[in-house]
Chains A and B, each alone.
Chain A
């Protein structure tokens, strides 16, 4: 679609161009128009993106599922929300026929928290439901990137490997294209209808699953509203009369007020990710999202003024002594859960899913405990400028050497895990077995200790339904989460490469890898802002500027998603 190159210098005109033509290929799901990427560097090539014409032939058909109508429909890029009481007696069945053929499937997946032992009741119950013997190889999610490369280079790759987009550094994209199976023959077009729950996955999530011109990933659809929320202890805030901060200065004042190291209380953990959000820094989650077209020129997040300002503010927090000392340890810091529950710190930024999981963990022993999400503030007290996350960020891939029966078994797993809310399959995937992992209290499922230990990560990592927020045990949390997403979604914009699955050329993939480390060094006072400026100028000369040209070409050929 070269005609579009004519409008290369202007974001908005590119968007209207897309709106008029590309949407033809799009199934609109959850209010998000599909970004149709055209051109690219041609199909089958190792870098670039997949053209709309090619994508059209590969993408699975979309068949909406309407098992249960959401109480809160998706808006502003939020998930759909369910807040009314769920009648567990009349749960629907979305998988009428057990599709698994009883084979064995090994799955390596990142795991955040302490994994349960193998062959536990949850895994057995899920395997029974699916008809496949899934064996989990859970690896620490925080250091997953450090294992992935070695596992993929070995000759012993598990049948399924789950890869988050933010781990696709270095030669991992090459590994994905070379080591994982093309699922097109099983899922493209109408073929997907054999797996109705997969057919109900929004097309923009499938679009993101195209790697090297082939459909290789089983996606986890995600809301495009940023996933990281500043979580805080609402119970303590209410008791002490703390007010939610509305600016960077207010946060600092509050943090100083909260901190009392003598009593083992600090205000927060490392607030770097919140700092990036409040200062309007371009998304750091996936390399293509680092870029945005500004006045006809692509700008990378690390080149912006806001990036340095955010780091400086996060550094000030450390310097002021309001950050819990565990945060000094960086990625080696222990799981924040227990110390958050103990009130050693009151605020920490993390994925929105922890809003609920921390609540559920503490519900029985600690009824006072209440965690809530802060609205993200603009650093100057105004509205924040947020940048959209990708509509699918985590993918499950099938080993290229897997036999057809293994692939079918994997799809059987995915078809169960992608079951929508309101079905027996969803309940089993997310809550485990009744009586073992949750009990009914006033008609509401309440997780048992066993449930909290065993029903974590694992199956939900394979494929999931359209982004859903539903917690029958804590409907107010579900409501809080969806409303947060919708309020924040109103301030969220899409950057130029949103929605595309882009593979950077091999020689540039490591260019930006060391910035995260440098950020952490700066916020902890080990390096200076001037070191960052030096690193950015090195980055430019070592290939950053060439990478900019490379991205510009993709933009010229495919158009922008910017909003």
Chain B
């Protein structure tokens, strides 16, 4: 896979010497030299590139892989306060085996959080995911560059507001004493309960997300659209294809790999449905409706200092998420798309 990034002439020269380096195609045992030699050669060949990736690899190791070791607290009654150093505390905290996991599976609050997470995820998948695509198509159809630039700017802007601000604005407009409710009351109707009704909370959360981030989400799709050759549209038009046919047969197929990729990524992230946004509104509707896995972990870990318990919940979430990515990727492959990675 990395092959394409190697300067062409050089890569070809090396490939002649060591055919195995060309990846998947070289499967036959006769052509494969001993692994050791191959590795050394490959290292020599790619040393500049490897050196260039080193800083990134170190960062990933230090900040993404090393902390994985911290999951050990999921099997402990971890008390970070028994020493000044987190690692020393980890070594000295008593091991409790699977007790934390046992407690989690018996905890109705955990299952409530799982349910809320899945409901929110499904709702966002159906109501949020298609919107950036539609917006991108819409923007793409705008011909005048100035109108297009203004529309894009307006759509991107809310992404840069913090959640605190977005929720405060929603509260001012839709809250129990907000503009909308007060207007209704002045005209003899009852006030609305949009911000604090647990039953409609998933819709509220999704609406907020759409308002804030749908515009930002169009960037990737616009890029994909820009890569579609105008020749294709022209050819289709010549063949008598109308607007809708061109969209169906040219535009959408061009977007398909990107949509599949983002869908896989989104499914992998299914258990992450927005931490800050939900935490900020948790008290407004109560944990019954607003507790998701992330806030559950936060509440038990940070608020209750039950770190082992929270870590166990986080670990479960991580394992399930990996499973989801693999499954979604498999589905993408079956649909003939590339997905996140190729086998």
Q: Does chain B have a CB within 8 A of A312?
A: no
Would A145 and B288 count as touching, CB distance under 8 A?
A: no
Cα separation A321 to B184 with both chains bound (whole Å): 15
Nearest chain A CB to B87 CB, angstrom units = 10
Would B286 and A510 count as touching, CB distance under 8 A?
A: no
Nearest chain B CB to A525 CB, angstrom units = 10
Q: Does chain A have a CB within 8 A of B191?
A: yes
Cα separation A506 to B185 with both chains bound (whole Å): 51
Cα separation A124 to B85 with both chains bound (whole Å): 34
Q: Which of the segments B147-155, B218-226, B302-310 contacts the partner chain?
A: B302-310
Would B283 and A330 count as touching, CB distance under 8 A?
A: yes
- A residues within 8 A CB of B109? 514
Would B177 and A149 count as touching, CB distance under 8 A?
A: no
Q: A169-B305, A264-B182 are in contact. Are A517 and B286 (CB under 8 A)?
A: yes
Q: How many residues on chain B are close to A (CB under 8 Å)?
A: 41
- B residues within 8 A CB of A179? 81, 84
Would A153 and B286 count as touching, CB distance under 8 A?
A: no
Q: A262-B186, A328-B176, A332-B280 are in contact. Are A171 and B196 (CB under 8 A)?
A: no
Would B281 and A332 count as touching, CB distance under 8 A?
A: yes
Cα separation A403 to B203 with both chains bound (whole Å): 54
Q: Among residues 346 to 376 in chain A, which have CB atoms less than 8 Å away from a CB atom of chain B? A: none
Nearest chain B CB to A358 CB, angstrom units = 19
Q: Does chain B have a CB within 8 A of A236?
A: no
Would A325 and B80 count as touching, CB distance under 8 A?
A: no
Q: Does chain B have a CB within 8 A of A526?
A: yes
Would A145 and B303 count as touching, CB distance under 8 A?
A: yes
- B residues within 8 A CB of A153? 80-81, 86, 305, 307
Q: Does chain A have a CB within 8 A of B131?
A: no
- A residues within 8 A CB of B288? 521, 526-527
Q: A170-B305, A264-B177 are in contact. Are A524 and B286 (CB under 8 A)?
A: yes
Would A329 and B286 count as touching, CB distance under 8 A?
A: no
Q: Among residues 80 to 124 in chain B, which have CB atoms less than 8 Å away from a CB atom of chain A? A: 80-86, 109
Would B287 and A146 count as touching, CB distance under 8 A?
A: no
Would B85 and A155 count as touching, CB distance under 8 A?
A: yes
Q: How many residues on chain A are close to B (CB under 8 Å)?
A: 38
Would A331 and B306 count as touching, CB distance under 8 A?
A: no
- List the A residue with the shortest CB-CB distance to B289: A526
- B residues within 8 A CB of A344? 177
Nearest chain B CB to A318 CB, angstrom units = 10
Cα separation A329 to B175 with both chains bound (whole Å): 9
- B residues within 8 A CB of A306? none
Q: A171-B79, A171-B305 are in contact. Are A526 and B84 (CB under 8 A)?
A: no
Q: A325-B177, A325-B181, A332-B280 are in contact. Are A526 and B286 (CB under 8 A)?
A: yes
- A residues within 8 A CB of B188? 262
Write out, one digit per residue, whether chain A residues 378-406 have a CB within 8 A of any chain B CB (1) or not (0): 00000000000000000000000100000
Q: Among residues 517 to 537 in chain A, which have CB atoms less than 8 Å away from a CB atom of chain B? A: 517, 520-521, 524, 526-527
Q: Does chain A have a CB within 8 A of B139?
A: no
Would A506 and B79 count as touching, CB distance under 8 A?
A: yes
Nearest chain A CB to B28 CB, angstrom units = 56
- A residues within 8 A CB of B80? 152-153, 171
- B residues within 8 A CB of A524? 196, 286
- B residues within 8 A CB of A325? 175-177, 181, 191, 196
- B residues within 8 A CB of A329? 171, 175, 195-196, 283-284
- A residues within 8 A CB of B289? 526
Q: Does chain A have a CB within 8 A of B19?
A: no
Nearest chain B CB to A315 CB, angstrom units = 13
- A residues within 8 A CB of B182? 264
Nearest chain A CB to B134 CB, angstrom units = 33
- List the B residue with the shortest CB-CB distance to A262: B185
- List the B residue with the shortest CB-CB distance to A170: B305
Nearest chain A CB to B93 CB, angstrom units = 11
Q: Does chain A have a CB within 8 A of B198?
A: yes
Nearest chain A CB to B290 CB, angstrom units = 10
Cα separation A174 to B307 with both chains bound (whole Å): 13
- B residues within 8 A CB of A1? none
Q: A330-B284, A520-B286 are in contact. Are A324 and B302 (CB under 8 A)?
A: no
Write out, one digit per residue, whether chain A residues 401-418 have a CB within 8 A of any chain B CB (1) or not (0): 100000000000000000
Q: Does chain B have a CB within 8 A of A119?
A: no
Q: Does chain A have a CB within 8 A of B11?
A: no
Q: Does chain B have a CB within 8 A of A93?
A: no
Q: Does chain B have a CB within 8 A of A172?
A: yes
Interface centre among A169, A171, A324, A330 (most CB of B within 10 A): A171
Q: Among residues 90 to 133 in chain A, which have CB atoms less than 8 Å away from a CB atom of chain B? A: none
Write out, one digit per residue, whether chain A residues 139-176 have a CB within 8 A of any chain B CB (1) or not (0): 00000011001101101000000000000011110110
Q: Which of B83, B181, B286, B306 contacts A527 (CB 8 A)?
A: B286
Nearest chain B CB to A142 CB, angstrom units = 10
Would B306 and A526 count as touching, CB distance under 8 A?
A: no
Interface centre among B79, B81, B281 (most CB of A within 10 A): B81
Would B81 and A175 count as touching, CB distance under 8 A?
A: yes
- B residues within 8 A CB of A54? none
Would B185 and A261 count as touching, CB distance under 8 A?
A: yes
- A residues within 8 A CB of B340? none
- List the A residue with the shortest CB-CB distance to B176: A325
- A residues within 8 A CB of B81? 152-153, 171, 174-175, 178-179
Cα separation A224 to B25 with both chains bound (whole Å): 82
- List the B residue with the shortest CB-CB distance to A171: B305
Q: Does chain B have a CB within 8 A of A45?
A: no
Q: Among residues 243 to 280 in chain A, which have CB atoms less than 8 Å away from a CB atom of chain B? A: 261-262, 264
Cα separation A506 to B81 with both chains bound (whole Å): 12
17 contacts between A and B (CB under 8 A): A149-B302, A150-B302, A152-B81, A153-B80, A172-B305, A179-B84, A261-B185, A262-B188, A326-B175, A328-B195, A329-B175, A329-B195, A329-B284, A510-B305, A521-B286, A521-B288, A526-B286
Given A152-B80, A169-B304, A172-B305, 9 more pairs with CB closer than 8 A: A149-B302, A153-B81, A169-B303, A171-B305, A325-B191, A329-B175, A510-B306, A521-B286, A527-B288
Q: Which residues from chain A sit less than 8 Å from chain B, CB to CB?
A: 145-146, 149-150, 152-153, 155, 169-172, 174-175, 178-179, 261-262, 264, 324-326, 328-332, 344, 401, 506, 510, 513-514, 517, 520-521, 524, 526-527
5 closest A-B pairs by CB:
A325-B176, A330-B283, A170-B305, A175-B81, A153-B80
Q: Which residues from chain B sit less than 8 Å from chain A, CB to CB?
A: 77, 79-86, 109, 171, 175-177, 181-182, 185-186, 188, 191, 193, 195-196, 198, 280-289, 301-307
